[in-house]
Amino acid sequence: MKTRDTAKTVSGGLDRRAFLKAGGASAMAALLAPGLAGRAEAAGFTGSLDMLAWDFQPDTIKTLVGEWTAKGNPTVNVAVIPNLGYSPALQTRLRGGDAIDLYYNFAYNSQKFIDQGWASKLNGLPGVDDMVGDMFESARAAYVNAAGDIISAPYFSAVHMMHYNQRMLGDAGIAAAPQTLKEVYDASKTLKDKNVVASPYVAYWVKEFCEEYLHTYLLNEGVTAFDAAGKPVFADDPKTEGVFEWWQAMYQDGLAPKSVLNDDPGKLSNQMAQGEAAFFVLHHYFLSSIRSLGGPESAHVMQGPIGGTNHTFQIGEVLQLGAGEDPARREAAWDLMKFYGWKDSAGKFSVFNQWAKAAGLAAPYPGFFTDPDVIAAFPDYYDLPLISKTFETGSKVVPARTLPWYPDFQAKVGDVVHALLLGQATPKQTVEALTAAANAAQKGRSL
């Protein structure tokens, strides 16, 4: 959640102004020439829709839905709440009977929300099969469950990438960005020993985010943590223990700062920008944060694939359609959802294009990466073909993450991984503890 906070802090002000200008221009155009503003997408509904989002660039959200309304569609009441605690707040609202037509959600919550009757399946809605068909094959399982139910649409997508400081590597005599875990360890040790940087490796190792790193590093070693049925197959793969040994060594040997257990990604991006760290693995769009901070080392920070296998974790948070039963309202909400999570009525990725400009966010559609507007929206320092290729063939979504028991497992990973990093548990014990956590989550009711 905090990842998006950071990007907001970093790039919010300037982009917000740009978007407000764009929004104003769109609204003016719509007022002057309603007939030219595009066809009304939700003509049958005359009320207003309710949308809930977390507070990443709230002005942009309002501008975007404003553009949709300006095309003759219903007005949208956008409520924005903090991302820290978004999921508990959303669940409390829905449990209390709030009828929300469209809302942001975390992918790992999506099937649970369907099962609880808080969100609708999208099957059968006009255009939904085309939307799914437009997606990268690798991304589809995040939005379509094993039974074929379409449970959500993309809000944004990202792939985990390695950010590294090229100048520092050069100063330490390291010719190329390290690839394997051992190479990253050795390079970090060299950078530390040569006093290039005291704590070369930073990671977003706060409790709630450890689960994403689990998948990122396991996939990098060729291990998909869960099979399609949700069985924790990572427990049977010796490479899992190797990953945990590496994590523990990086932390215990002082190659990562002690504070990473609590640091938010804004601080980590700043450490990269200021030259206080040389390596940072996180979503690709953090390059925008690091570069736009304008620190003395910002321009030296590059992006590349994690490890030599070019297998990483593809993440993306989602939009879910509320469970309202009024057909006209539901149709209008679906039109808004398509606009926000796929394409506008002209077939353009206009919303994703704005998010790309604002913070380097991506969409899980191959067409997104070939759209000239999108290509123009990404700053030059991005290797867009590399990101596109990573989406296409170098990343996975881990379908088990959307299973209804998964949020329970997700909540437990942080405690276990922190115990490993702090040296309170061995890698072997960590594998056992995570396996037990996964099994307990699937069994139901456990702490």
- Shortest spacing between CB 225 and another protein, in angstroms: 19
Q: What are phi and psi of 316, to 5 degrees?
A: -175, 135
Measured from the Cβ of residue 439, the count of other Cβ atoms closer than 10 Å reads 16
Short-list 55, 104, 57, CA closest to 84: 55
Tokens matching residue 184: 């990253």
Residues 397 and 154 sit within 8 Å (Cβ to Cβ): no
Tokens matching residue 199: 């704590």
β pairing state of 153-165 and 301-304? antiparallel
- According to the binding rule CB under 8 A, does residue 259 interact with another protein? yes
Task: Produce one character per residue of 44-59: b if its CB has 16 or more CB atoms within 10 Å, e if not.
Answer: ebeeebbbbbbebbbe
- Shortest spacing between CB 117 and another protein, in angstroms: 6
DSSP H helical segments within 71-164, as ranges?
A: 86-95, 110-115, 128-133
Q: In terms of CB distance, is 387 or 431 closer to another protein?
A: 431
- According to the binding rule CB under 8 A, does residue 446 interact with another protein? yes
Q: In terms of CB distance, is 64 or 94 closer to another protein?
A: 94
Task: Tell me 75's DSSP state.
Answer: P
Task: Tell me 73's DSSP state.
Answer: P
- According to the binding rule CB under 8 A, does residue 94 interact with another protein? yes
When binding is defined by CB under 8 A, the residue of 59, 171, 183, 208 that contacts another protein is 208
- According to the binding rule CB under 8 A, does residue 311 interact with another protein? no
Site for another protein in 119-148 (CB under 8 A): none
Q: In terms of CB distance, is 259 or 370 closer to another protein?
A: 259
d(C-alpha 142, C-alpha 363), whole Å: 13
x-or-dash string of contact with another protein, 54-73, rule CB under 8 A: --------------------
- According to the binding rule CB under 8 A, does residue 46 interact with another protein? no
When binding is defined by CB under 8 A, the residue of 27, 78, 206, 386 that contacts another protein is 206
Q: Which stretch binds another protein (CB under 8 A): 4-12, 21-29, 53-61, 254-262?
A: 254-262
Residues 182 and 272 sit within 8 Å (Cβ to Cβ): no
- According to the binding rule CB under 8 A, does residue 252 interact with another protein? no
Residues 149 and 132 sit within 8 Å (Cβ to Cβ): no
- According to the binding rule CB under 8 A, does residue 91 interact with another protein? yes
- Shortest spacing between CB 418 and another protein, in angstroms: 4
Quick check: helix, strand or coil at residue 202?
strand
- Shortest spacing between CB 387 and another protein, in angstroms: 31
d(C-alpha 201, C-alpha 279), whole Å: 5
Helices 2-32/58-70 angle, 10° precision:
30
Tokens matching residue 312: 């990483």
Q: In terms of CB distance, is 93 or 239 closer to another protein?
A: 93
x-or-dash string of contact with another protein, 266-295, rule CB under 8 A: -x----------------------------
- Shortest spacing between CB 54 and another protein, in angstroms: 15
- According to the binding rule CB under 8 A, does residue 253 interact with another protein? no
d(C-alpha 336, C-alpha 66), whole Å: 11
Site for another protein in 381-440 (CB under 8 A): 407-408, 411, 414-415, 418-419, 421-422, 424
Q: Which stretch binds another protein (CB under 8 A): 85-93, 176-184, 298-306, 311-319?
A: 85-93
Residues 221 and 239 sit within 8 Å (Cβ to Cβ): yes
Count of residues that interact with another protein, criterion CB under 8 A: 36
Measured from the Cβ of residue 182, the count of other Cβ atoms closer than 10 Å reads 11
When binding is defined by CB under 8 A, the residue of 64, 65, 214, 261 that contacts another protein is 261
Note the residues at the interface with another protein (CB under 8 A): 85, 87-89, 91-92, 94-95, 112, 116-118, 206-208, 257-262, 267, 407-408, 411, 414-415, 418-419, 421-422, 424, 444-447
